[in-house]
Structure 1
Amino acid sequence: MLSSLSRKMLMCLTGLFLSFFLLIHFLGNLQLFLPKERAHLQFNAYSHFLSGNIIIEIVSYILYASIILHAVDGLIITLKNKKSGANYQTDRRGRASKWYSRNMGLLGTFILIFLVIHFQNFWYVYKFGTIPLDENGNKDLYILVVTVFKEWWYVVIYVISMFALCYHLIHGIYSATRTLGLYHPKFIKWFKIAGIAYSVIISAGFAMMPVYVFFTYR
């Protein structure tokens, strides 16, 4: 059985890895904002490179494990907190906590549901579905993305999920600095600012992608 500190450390490390993956995924998906013809072929070539790279494949298994461990660990911590009667109205320093810090379990559950939908629409179809090839012979993931992002209900779910992700990241990154022992008056302010900036840029950037495709391909 893992101790409370071990669970927090596991949550911290898996969360930081997932945050780093989000950055890489975000940078790759920025190609969707390129002119249509260029975005079409370049995005498919990028996807083909990732799917055929052994190093990326190994990293993908670490990603899947991190998602599962982060979700399970978060569930256990949330249940233990509820069982112990912890309400997190204030933290140990006596300052009022934010609503999102008291609802990380709820935000995490919403994000997990979104990930299941997201994986089913893209990862599963790309891996196991029948996708046409583009003119370069690569699986046409770009057309799949455009087709899904043209559905208004999916765009709405995607944008709302990015709001949840933003608040989840803000508190998660802040908590990680404390778990790693970086809570120091000289540095915590800058860690907090950097964490908020990262969370907002990543979440807003991802949210803009389906919105951009939806209105561009109307």
Structure 2
Amino acid sequence: MSSFNQALTSTLGKKLIMALTGLFLCTFLIVHLVGNLQLFKDDAGKAFNDYAYFMTHFPPIKVVSYLLYTSIVLHAIYALILTLHNKKARPVAYASYAGNKNSAWNSRNMGILGTVLLVFIATHMANFWWKFHQDQVPYIEYKTDLNTLETQATEIQASDFTDYQKYTQDGMEITKARDLYKQVAYAFQNPILVAFYVLAMAALSFHLIHGFNSAFQSLGFDHKKYIPIIRFLAVWLFGVLIPIGFAAMPLYFFFCK
């Protein structure tokens, strides 16, 4: 076995892969949240539907999406491998719980939190990604007056166009698109789904706080100069801002739409 393969299959190598894939997923969450904020625009979903089309048809984004799927799978697999390795190395639980008292709750339950997030990802993709790609969402036409910028939205049939169109006609900007916004609004009228999303975002918060800190420790960024910044980002950006931002979306549609 080459030294490179040995490095990747070592405990340190596995932690390195966990760190890199985890940080990539953290970066994706920031971008995804910014894009999904289009849901809050009062434009009948036009900005969000434009964003959905861009994210599924722009070639570089499609490449990144495959990296995303790969990262999720690798992150989950290596988390399981490291968990089993740790249990094998310590088959008998400690008689004393001093170790547990010295570690945070989320650090001791990353497996449970990760499992909740895997179920969430599968549910999320089934409700939106799958239905969008399988042509199971309605279609809509937007007519925007270029003088007043007022927009009218009308549901249309898929046979009226192919996939997505945007053009100008008689002083109007006309956009025809798949109405993923309507699918989002419909899905988030289900109180069970909304409650699960909020629960999953709570799990995401605890998972990210510990995971973000651990990733930089695995990469060697444990100098006292960097630790305060890393901890600040872990708590306030990934532990508070991002989970609240995502949780606000189902709550907004359930209570306000």
Residues 165, 203 of structure 1: 8 Å contact kept = yes
Residue 163 of structure 1 corresponds to 202
Find out whether 1:29 has 2:69 as its counterpart: no
Measure how far apart 1:145 and its partner are. 0.4
Matching of residue 7 in structure 1 with residue 14 in structure 2: yes
Q: Distance in 2 between matches of 1:90 and 1:9?
A: 28
Asked if the contact 1:41–1:134 (Cα under 8 Å) also holds between the matched residues in 2, the reply is no
Letter in 1 for 2:14: R
Amino acid at match of 1:181: G
Residues in 1 aligned to 2:44 and 2:12: alpha-carbon distance in whole angstroms? 45
Question: 5+ residue gaps in structure 1?
Answer: none
1:151 aligns with 2:190: yes
In structure 1, distance between residues paired with 2:138 and 2:202: 33
Runs of 4+ aligned residues of structure 1 deviating over 4 Å after TM superposition are 86-91
1:154-179 residue CA offsets vs partner (Å, 9 max, x unmatched)? 00000000000000000001101111
Residue 81 (structure 1) shift: 1.4
SS at match of 2:197: helix
Instruction: Give me the whole-angstrom Cα distance separating, in 2, the residues matched to 1:186 and 1:27.
Output: 29
Alpha-carbon RMSD: 1.8
Output the CA distance in 2 between the equivalents of 1:66 and 1:163. Answer: 22
Distance 1:153 1:49 in 2: 30
Does the alignment pair 1:96 with 2:102?
yes
TM superposition shift of 1:131: 2.0
Indicate conservation of the 8 Å contact 2:29/2:242, yes or no.
yes
What's the CA shift for 1:77? 0.9
Identity level (%): 44
Kept in 2, the 8 Å contact 1:114–1:158? The answer is yes
| Post-superposition offset of 1:187 | 2.2
SS at match of 1:138: strand
More helix by share: 1
Which protein is bigger by CA-based radius of gyration?
Answer: 2
Aligned residues of 1:11 and 1:73 also touching (Cα < 8 A): yes
Q: Structure 2 length normalisation: TM-score?
A: 0.79
Equivalent residue of 2:12, what SS? helix
Corresponding residue of 2:79: 74
Greater RCO (CA < 8 Å, at least 6 residues apart): 1
Q: What do residues 57-114 of structure 1 show as CA deviations (whole Å, max 9, x unaligned)?
A: 10000000000000111111111112222879677xx981101101111110110011
Does residue 116 of structure 1 match 2:122? yes
